[in-house]
Structure 1
Amino acid sequence: MSPPGTGVSEEAGEIRRFWTGLGLPGLIDVHTHFMPERVLHKVWDYFDTNGSLIGGLEWPITYRTAEAERTALLRAFGVRAFTAMLYPHKPGMARWLNGWAADFARRTPDCLHTATLYPEPDVETYVREAVAAGARVFKAHVQVGAYDPADERLRRAWGALAEAGIPVVIHCGSGPAPGKHTGPGPIARVLARHPRLRLIVAHMGMHEYEDFLGLAERYDQVRLDTTMAFTDFVEDLAPFPRRALPRLAALGDRVLLGTDFPNIPYPYLHQLRALERLGLGPDWLRAVCHDNAAELFGL
Structure 2
Amino acid sequence: MSATPDTADTAGQARAGAATAAATAEAVRAFRERLAVPALVDVHTHFMPERVLDKVWGYFDSVGPLTGVAWPIVYRHEEERRVALLREFGVRAFTAMLYPHKPAMAAWLNSWAAEFAARTPDCLHTATFFPEEGVETYVRQAVERGARVFKAHLQVGGYDPNDERLEPVWGLLAEAGIPVVVHCGSGPAPGRHTGPGPIGRLLARHPRLPLIVAHMGMPEYAEFLDLAARHREVRLDTTMAFTDFSERLAAFPADRLGRLADLGDRILLGTDFPNIPYPYEHQLAALERLGLGDAWLRAVCHDNGARLFSLR
TM-score by length of 2: 0.94
**What whole-Å deviation, never above 9, does each CA across 1:17-44 have from its counterpart, x for those lacking one?**
1112211111000000000011001000
| Contact residue 32 and residue 82 of structure 1 kept, 8 A | yes
Equivalent residue number for residue 24 of structure 1: 37
| Contact residue 3 and residue 267 of structure 1 kept, 8 A | no
Equivalent residue number for residue 56 of structure 2: 43
| Contact residue 140 and residue 171 of structure 1 kept, 8 A | yes
> Aligned partners of 1:20, 1:42: CA distance in 2, in Å?
38
Match of 2:294 among 270, 282, 288: 282
**1:144-183 correspondence to structure 2 within 5 Å:** 144-183=156-195
Equivalent residue number for residue 60 of structure 1: 72
Identical aligned residues as a percent = 72
> Aligned partners of 2:166, 2:17: CA distance in 1, in Å?
40
The residue type paired with residue 228 of structure 2 is A
> Aligned partners of 1:49, 1:202: CA distance in 2, in Å?
23
The residue type paired with residue 175 of structure 2 is E
> Aligned partners of 1:95, 1:191: CA distance in 2, in Å?
25
**1:50-199 correspondence to structure 2 within 5 Å:** 50-54=63-67, 56-199=68-211
Equivalent residue number for residue 34 of structure 1: 47
| Contact residue 3 and residue 62 of structure 1 kept, 8 A | no
Query: Which residues of structure 1 form unaligned runs of 5+?
Result: none
**What whole-Å deviation, never above 9, does each CA across 1:249-276 have from its counterpart, x for those lacking one?**
0000000000000000000000000000
Q: 1:259 aligned to 2:271?
A: yes
- Judged with a 3 Å threshold, the aligned counterparts in structure 2 of structure 1 residues 50 and 165 are, in CA distance, closer, same or farther, namely same
- Judged with a 3 Å threshold, the aligned counterparts in structure 2 of structure 1 residues 166 and 147 are, in CA distance, closer, same or farther, namely same
Equivalent residue number for residue 3 of structure 2: none
The residue type paired with residue 118 of structure 1 is F
> Aligned partners of 2:43, 2:194: CA distance in 1, in Å?
21
SS in 2 for 1:169: strand
**What whole-Å deviation, never above 9, does each CA across 1:216-268 have from its counterpart, x for those lacking one?**
00000000000000000000000000000000000000000000000000000
**1:208-219 correspondence to structure 2 within 5 Å:** 208-219=220-231
Q: 1:295 aligned to 2:295?
A: no
| Contact residue 20 and residue 26 of structure 1 kept, 8 A | no
> Aligned partners of 1:189, 1:95: CA distance in 2, in Å?
26
> Aligned partners of 1:18, 1:82: CA distance in 2, in Å?
18
Deviation, structure 1 residue 3: 7.3
Q: Based on CA coordinates, which of the two structures has the bigger radius of gyration?
A: 2
Equivalent residue number for residue 243 of structure 1: 255
> Aligned partners of 1:4, 1:220: CA distance in 2, in Å?
42
SS in 2 for 1:139: strand
The residue type paired with residue 202 of structure 1 is A
The residue type paired with residue 245 of structure 2 is F
Alignment RMSD (CA, Å): 1.0
**What whole-Å deviation, never above 9, does each CA across 1:72-100 have from its counterpart, x for those lacking one?**
00000000000000000000000000000
> Aligned partners of 1:76, 1:6: CA distance in 2, in Å?
13
> Aligned partners of 2:34, 2:17: CA distance in 1, in Å?
24
Deviation, structure 1 residue 63: 0.2
Deviation, structure 1 residue 4: 2.9
Match of 2:27 among 1, 6, 14: 14
SS in 1 for 2:127: strand
Point out 4+ residue stretches in structure 1 off by more than 3 angstroms.
none
> Aligned partners of 2:120, 2:257: CA distance in 1, in Å?
36
**1:201-240 correspondence to structure 2 within 5 Å:** 201-240=213-252
> Aligned partners of 2:112, 2:24: CA distance in 1, in Å?
30
How many equivalent residue pairs?
297
SS in 2 for 1:53: coil
Deviation, structure 1 residue 8: 1.3
